[in-house]
Structure 1
Amino acid sequence: MTAPDFVHLHVHSEYSLLDGANRIGDLVKACEKDGQRALALTDHGNMYGAIELYQKAHKGGIKPLMGCEVYIAKRSMHEKHSKANGNGYSHLTLLARNMEGYQNLVKLTSAGYVDGFHYKPRIDMDLLRQHAAGISCLSGCLAGEINQLTRTGKEGEAEALATDLRDMFGPEHFWLELQRNGINIQADANEALMRMHQRTGIPLVATNDIHYLRAEDCHAQDVLLCINTGAKKADKDRFKFETDTLFFATREEMTHMFRDLPESIKATNDVAEQINVELEFGTYHVPEFVSETGESPDQIFDRLLEERLVKLYGSDSQAARERLEREKGTIRELGFVSYFLIVWDIIKWSRDNGISVGPGRGSAAGSIVAYLLDITRLCPLKYDLLFERFLNSSRVSMPDIDIDFCKEGRERVIEYTRERYGRECVTQIVTFGTMASRTVVRDVGRALDMPLSEINRVSKKIPAGPGAPSLAVALETDPELQAFKALGPEWEELFAYSTALEGMARHVSTHAAGVVITPGPTVNYVPLGRNGDDITTQFPAPQLEELGLLKMDYLGLRTLTIIDRCLANIKKRGLEPPVVDELPLDDPGVFELLMAGDTLGVFQLESEGMRKLLSRLKPDCFDDVVAVLALYRPGPLESGMVDMFVDRKHGREAITFPHESLVPILGNTYGCLVYQEQVMLASVELSGFSLNDADNLRKAMGKKKPEIMQKFSAQFLEGAIANGCDPDVAQNTWDNIIKFGGYGFNKSHSAAYALITYQTAYLKAHYRTDFLAANFSCEMGDSNKIKDFIDDCKKSDIRVLMPSIHESEWEFKPTQTPEGGEAIRFGFGAVKGCGRGALEAMCKVRNELLEEKPQLTFHEVVTAVDPREMGKIAWEAVIKSGAFDELQHNRGSLMAALESAMADASSLAKDRRSGQSSMFDAFGGAEEVSEEKPAAGIDDRFAITKAETLALEHEVLGFYLSGHPLEERAGLVSLLSSSPIKRLAEVGSSESTVRIAGLILQKAELVVKSGKMAGSKMCRFRLEDLSGSIGVTCFPRTYLEVRDLIEDGAVVLCSGKLEEGSDEPAMLLDEVMSLKDALARFQGGIELRVDPKDRAKLAVIKETCDRHKGQNPLFLQTEGDDGLTRRIRAGRDKGIAITEELANELCEILGHDRVGIVRV
């Protein structure tokens, strides 16, 4: 017998964050499989999943019932003093019955977050009454107020509430909600509800409060609750569901469950039958631009474009005029005039108010309209950029103009947008943090109370990042993960729960850049949510775009901030800074810098791999800069396209073209298909495609769907042959497009970003000190980047001067050495423990003191600053950084004198606040009074050693600046290491052993809590060389053998494997030895990376090696013009004796990164 129709009306998905364990797609499939014709979604307090349900349900032929299980405040939603876990709210199940009800549900859930949020997004009965129209209501689960009242013997109050709700929603739109989940108190609640039904006639309806898909999924959902509450699964008193029945029951199961109340099953269909909500997609809701001049959007649009066309191209440029008219026609046809004007207005305001804006980003750089409106600053005609790549009238979608702003000005731009277009109309956008494979393993491991060290070890083995397989796939294919899983039942549980929960929403965040701008209040279009203090949409960006809303990305680009700071530095030095948007694009100094790979700090060109490519490619024109940004990606690198491009540029491979008509299109890329625009132009030129069709081909290539590509293949070949092309040539051209075109990059984006690349390269080439100081100031929170820039300064003979109590400001600043050399003064902002407000207050007082006298004492500086503005921790950090070294006092002695000086500072500040200082000044006696108390004594008995000084310096800077404990042994450290630490990321595989000589810091001894080694000791420490530091883990067996060698401050050689998947390099230790033992045991030779053209340096190397003759072989490594590395062994009579002295001399000549060892 076929089961009666039934509809689930109370359903939680993953958007009931860390509570619901259902994916909406799985729920829809379950409906299809069981023949259920509708599906509700009633997540806790929100509508996050409403659009996903609507779209997926319709696609599956299921009616979507959009709803919410709202939180009702017991009194007013505006009262926010109840405890989080108290009875301050109850639950109620609401379903939107029609569009009015949908809009009311949007307003209710929005108000819960915007006005009623207190631990939960709460509304109250007054608000519910105002927005009840068009909503169907169910009385709720055990947490519903009706059930709460009956449980406490207040059945009369419960009935009164039920009749009130019936009157509020209408007698046909309110039901008493029955659930049969095996919980004793639920059975009692059901009895009370049935009695109420008999007395009032309010209908009953059956639900199952679905939280997971299948009965067996209750265990994974239970783990989800543990993640939510921070509890361990084994905890006895933790919060958990006392049932395993909250799954997606079939029609048959629900009918059987309520076999004595068939009307409650039928009622589910009655509820669903009433519901009919049709959302509108594809209609655009762009605010109409309102001009202060009173012009219509079309009038101001035409005027601005005409004025700029004449200014930039003259009045008789036919090509620019035709391109403009074509673009204007499309923009008008699609209704986007106001959109462009809004973007123009925001960018104009930003530039007028001193906020830097990037020259363009993405495909918008292909639009001459965007160029003429000064939205972009790159002529699309000059660089063959295509409007159709940006806006295609045959593939209608909202334009996407992303804008880069100076990072520090971004919030001001958003605030202007709010003021200009209405605060209630400008809203930030929600994003969802998900339980990615590594995250979910860590979360589940904590819930199962597994040792954190073990969980971290396995999580690092899991593939991560774009394109990484799912955890389930990785478990099937990765032997290491399979070995973990085989360790026992606990590990099987870990992976079972992790695979079940992987990818589910974990928390909400605010989109890093996106805001939505609506014609009226945003709440009239989409529900609002909250993330901390941010009010956001409840729907993510892709869904907002599908609903036709205007989304804009305000991206904060640090590089624009660096450029601004660099120009300010230049101006402070009394020089006229260049206008970066007007730089000549053929400056020899720029290309000399790029060819040398001297690009630390240069936009998009900083990585080691990119620097190597620059050295091979040797760019000598702006087109090459555009190309290199497009080429340095996995596809072109792995396909051989990069090698072809480099070899063709330097004449090592002939430049060929698939067809002579493509020479103008592929000429500046040496016949290589580098850009998507080249694919589009080739299909237009050779096969007669329209630009719209060409863009559709470009998009199809990205999707790689065979049936679509087959259609385009036929169109391309037929068109080419019809245009007189030989069939074989046409086929060969198509094959080339398929082979390389799929790797093509968006030239509009590459060209726009190449301008920023060029600007930063120009500033580094011509204003290096100012540029590097700007980079320092923008990276003050990253000690590794600071170290990299210090190394870069050393190569350029720019001294990085210690923090100075007389000269340092919050930021780094360019200056000169006493000898007149280029220098950068260290900024207090890079000193840990120094808050900006405190240090800027100190600098202000310090500058006032310096107006009176050029040299200050420790006591004068400290006592002049109110301790309420700068406390002891900040002063200690300043001392430890070395800022007072110029006063010739030991840092330990100053630390000891600080407390007394601050006590004096407190007294003086109190006097200033009480007005005593002013009184004495009035009588000319302030000076005499201050002299009555002698300056705080600085006692040399508290002086500390150089090693202790350096340790304190490292503590507050994150690295050594005034010296390094390894300096005297730098040559041997470099020689014995297989790689400097900062280059370990290039080593890669955990299969190979690496050797790192360095200094042990921050040793921490741990006790293993569980497993075979429970009770055994292991340790972790950081190992630092002259280039950086690395975390090292030493497990019990190894630690037992080497523990005597592992002490803070010890200089050792560590050997081990790199941990795969770490965010930064980390080592699993296999062996430790002293440098003396390592050198004594070493068998092999020295390898020197040399420049064969530098004859003078080669002569010095030869003379040095001749003084250290021995039996060890000497190898020379060189790089040819083709980019290939070659190793040459010196003659048998050129053997050397490897000693620490030789290592130091060679490192002094070549640099630490050019001297290494070779095991033979």
Structure 2
Amino acid sequence: MQIVRDLAGYSLGRSDLVRRAMSKKKHDVMEEERKNFIYGLVDDKGNVIVPGCVRNGIDETVAGIIFNQMMDFASYAFNKAHAAAYAVIGYQTAYLMRYYPAEFTAAMLNSFIGNADKCFSYLRFAKSLGISVVSPDINASEFKYKVKDGNIVFGLGAIKGVGRNMVDALVETRNKGGRYKSIMDFIERNTASGLNKRAVEALIRSGAFDGLDGNRAQMLAVYEKIMDSFTQKSRRNIDGQVSLFGDLLEDDDTVQIEYPKLREFDHKDLLFMEKEMTGMYMSGHPLDEYEETLRTAVSHKVSDIQTENREILDDVRDDAAMFADEMMKKSGFKDGDRVILGGMIRDISRKITRNSAMMAFMNLEDLSGVIECIVFPKTYDKVVAYLKEDSIVLIRGRLSIKEEENPKIIVESLGDLVPEKNTKLYLRFRNMDDAKLMVRALRPVLTTFSGETPVIVVASDKREVMQLAKELWIDGDSPVIRMLMDKLGEENVKLVES
């Protein structure tokens, strides 16, 4: 900026103001300084603060040309040392990504451990590269994410309620004594390490014990009893503590607890447990069964709009925002474009406007990413029935694209996203009156085994057909089919592939 000071007679502070405006691409500030640069600046008393080019004997036209060059530079100015450093990091990153993609991604996950949205982004990125991500595993995971056999193993430190000291202790116990054989073996070997019930429940719900005997429903039913039993046993075995009946109890001091005969939770419930504990879906995604429907029903995926470039580079604020804005322009999207998106509603926040009207903010998550959606008051009343956490919906709306902000969707309409079904269950009755009576009686059974298979009632006398409400659809893989056959007769219950 020495040239600027010499030409216009700027002070050090004033010239630094121009430098910062150039580096931040603030064209409005630059335009304000044009007059000062060429003609100078005086205060209210006529004292010269900045002489300007003209006072320094430089032709007005020449001064304008010089300032125009600075304006052009302000369109994209970048510090040379900064650029060189970025280039080195860029080459290093490219090398690691090319030859060690799993290790590089695991390192990025560890840098954001505890930030579920960032980790989800990188896990999705890993899967797009064909890198498998192993769910939490009590016999394989450590506190941080790691790479094993080319796969990324989930870090137990990303599970809510499980601290560093506890994970380090259970990993050390595993390394010394070998793999855990059951949840009972796990609790017995770690009771002395200060294991607490909250952490064990979190590990169960996250799926960390899925490789052991028993299902999550069974483990959740007995883990507290197991922990209490081993805590009592540990107290009895404290050195120096003598029991009057010690000799009699010695042979019966083994903890014996059996799993109750419980059916495992529905797959959807297991996924929500994982999401609750880790902030991510690990063994699947609630939208997996809607994948084909999403492909045909929507105009774009979230990732088409909310580019990964903006999300990952967001920490380098100025450069990332500018780069993402350029990417958005190149993608062909512009403010006001209409789009159709499908996915699951997350993080609903309702607000009351100054006019006492309701509006809502929410995130829409599909299989490719997450985008913010806004429901203004004029739309709110029309769609309020669908504004439920974890609802799977189809959204029609307009893009809102502004500088230095992530793209958003202005919601215009909202409705259920109904998956394409390959099977339907037909229940045949003599007439529709009999059908309605039986459906009323079967309602508790149907809701117990609820799912995504439509149930169609057929009346033989008039060949009438009626599809039951979605709340009475069933899980086609559950025992309910056999139960209905036993109740209504096999000839009256048909599961038909469409």
Output the TM-score relative to the length of structure 2. 0.59
Q: CA deviation at 1:994?
A: 3.7
Q: 5 Å matches for 1:381-396?
A: none
Q: 5 Å matches for 1:670-689?
A: none
Identity %: 26
Q: Residue in 2 aligned with 1:997?
A: 342
- Please, which of 217, 222, 226 is the counterpart of residue 897 of structure 1? 222
- Please, which of 239, 248, 253 is the counterpart of residue 915 of structure 1? 239
Q: CA deviation at 1:884?
A: 1.0
1:749 aligns with 2:74: no
Q: CA deviation at 1:1027?
A: 2.3
Q: What is the rounded CA distance, in whole Å, between the counterparts of 1:832 and 1:909 in structure 2?
A: 27
1:746–1:1049 distance in 2 versus 1, CA, 3 Å: closer
Q: Residue in 1 aligned with 2:396?
A: 1055
Deviations, residues 1004-1023 of structure 1 (Å, cap 9, x unaligned) = 8x79698555xxx8777653
Q: CA deviation at 1:1071?
A: 1.4
Q: What is the rounded CA distance, in whole Å, between the counterparts of 1:732 and 1:1058 in structure 2?
A: 40
Q: Residue in 1 aligned with 2:302?
A: 981
Q: CA deviation at 1:708?
A: 4.5
How many residue pairs get matched?
366
- Please, which of 360, 364, 382 is the counterpart of residue 1023 of structure 1? 364
Q: Residue in 2 aligned with 1:806?
A: 139
1:901–1:1069 distance in 2 versus 1, CA, 3 Å: farther
CA contact (8 A) 1:864 1:905 kept: no
Q: CA deviation at 1:969?
A: 1.9
CA contact (8 A) 1:994 1:1055 kept: yes
Q: CA deviation at 1:762?
A: 2.1
Structure 2 residue identity aligned to 1:800: V
Q: 5 Å matches for 1:355-394?
A: none
1:872–1:916 distance in 2 versus 1, CA, 3 Å: same
- Please, which of 762, 766, 784 is the counterpart of residue 95 of structure 2? 762
1:1072 aligns with 2:404: no
CA contact (8 A) 1:1020 1:1033 kept: yes
Q: What is the rounded CA distance, in whole Å, between the counterparts of 1:794 and 1:785 in structure 2?
A: 14
Q: CA deviation at 1:858?
A: 0.9
Q: What is the rounded CA distance, in whole Å, between the counterparts of 2:300 and 2:56 in structure 1?
A: 51
CA contact (8 A) 2:361 2:375 kept: yes
1:959 aligns with 2:283: no
Secondary structure in structure 2 of the residue aligned to 1:1070: strand
Q: 5 Å matches for 1:299-310?
A: none
CA contact (8 A) 1:787 1:1027 kept: no
Structure 1 residue identity aligned to 2:239: G
CA contact (8 A) 1:713 1:734 kept: no
Deviations, residues 430-474 of structure 1 (Å, cap 9, x unaligned) = xxxxxxxxxxxxxxxxxxxxxxxxxxxxxxxxxxxx99xxxxxxx
CA contact (8 A) 1:1034 1:1068 kept: yes
1:784 aligns with 2:117: yes
CA contact (8 A) 1:882 1:891 kept: yes
Q: 5 Å matches for 1:213-612?
A: none
Structure 2 residue identity aligned to 1:827: G
Q: CA deviation at 1:813?
A: 0.5
Q: CA deviation at 1:997?
A: 0.6
Q: 5 Å matches for 1:44-59?
A: none
CA contact (8 A) 2:180 2:186 kept: no
Q: What is the rounded CA distance, in whole Å, between the counterparts of 2:92 and 2:102 in structure 1?
A: 15
Deviations, residues 1077-1124 of structure 1 (Å, cap 9, x unaligned) = 99xxxxxxxxxxxxxxxxxxxxxxxxxxxxxxxxxxxxxxxxxxxxxx
- Please, which of 173, 182, 186 is the counterpart of residue 857 of structure 1? 182
Secondary structure in structure 2 of the residue aligned to 1:1073: strand
Q: What is the rounded CA distance, in whole Å, between the counterparts of 2:250 and 2:223 in structure 1?
A: 22
Deviations, residues 703-751 of structure 1 (Å, cap 9, x unaligned) = 9454556789799999xxxxxxxxx9x9999577434334432212221
Deviations, residues 619-640 of structure 1 (Å, cap 9, x unaligned) = xxxxxxxxxxx9xx9749x9xx
Q: What is the rounded CA distance, in whole Å, between the counterparts of 1:896 and 1:1077 in structure 2?
A: 34
1:1070–1:744 distance in 2 versus 1, CA, 3 Å: closer
Q: CA deviation at 1:1001?
A: 4.9
- Please, which of 873, 879, 899 is the counterpart of residue 204 of structure 2? 879
Q: Residue in 2 aligned with 1:508?
A: none
Q: What is the rounded CA distance, in whole Å, between the counterparts of 1:1053 and 1:707 in structure 2?
A: 55
- Which ranges of structure 2 fall in alignment gaps of 5 or more residues? 3-10, 14-19, 40-50, 308-327, 421-498
Structure 1 residue identity aligned to 2:110: S
Q: CA deviation at 1:1045?
A: 4.5
Q: 5 Å matches for 1:154-193?
A: none
1:396–1:1035 distance in 2 versus 1, CA, 3 Å: closer
Q: What is the rounded CA distance, in whole Å, between the counterparts of 1:753 and 1:830 in structure 2?
A: 30
Structure number with bigger Rg: 1
Q: Residue in 2 aligned with 1:830?
A: 158
Q: CA deviation at 1:963?
A: 0.6
Q: What is the rounded CA distance, in whole Å, between the counterparts of 2:293 and 2:370 in structure 1?
A: 17
Q: CA deviation at 1:774?
A: 0.8
1:911–1:1031 distance in 2 versus 1, CA, 3 Å: farther
Deviations, residues 750-791 of structure 1 (Å, cap 9, x unaligned) = 213332332222222222222111111111122222222222
Q: Residue in 1 aligned with 2:171?
A: 843
Q: What is the rounded CA distance, in whole Å, between the counterparts of 1:888 and 1:901 in structure 2?
A: 15
Deviations, residues 968-1019 of structure 1 (Å, cap 9, x unaligned) = 2213224433443355446787744443211245668x79698555xxx877
Q: What is the rounded CA distance, in whole Å, between the counterparts of 1:868 and 1:1063 in structure 2?
A: 47
1:701–1:876 distance in 2 versus 1, CA, 3 Å: same
Q: What is the rounded CA distance, in whole Å, between the counterparts of 1:930 and 1:990 in structure 2?
A: 77
Q: Residue in 2 aligned with 1:738?
A: 70
CA contact (8 A) 1:896 1:942 kept: no
Output the TM-score relative to the length of structure 1. 0.28
1:864–1:1057 distance in 2 versus 1, CA, 3 Å: farther
Q: What is the rounded CA distance, in whole Å, between the counterparts of 2:218 and 2:268 in structure 1?
A: 15
Q: CA deviation at 1:829?
A: 1.6
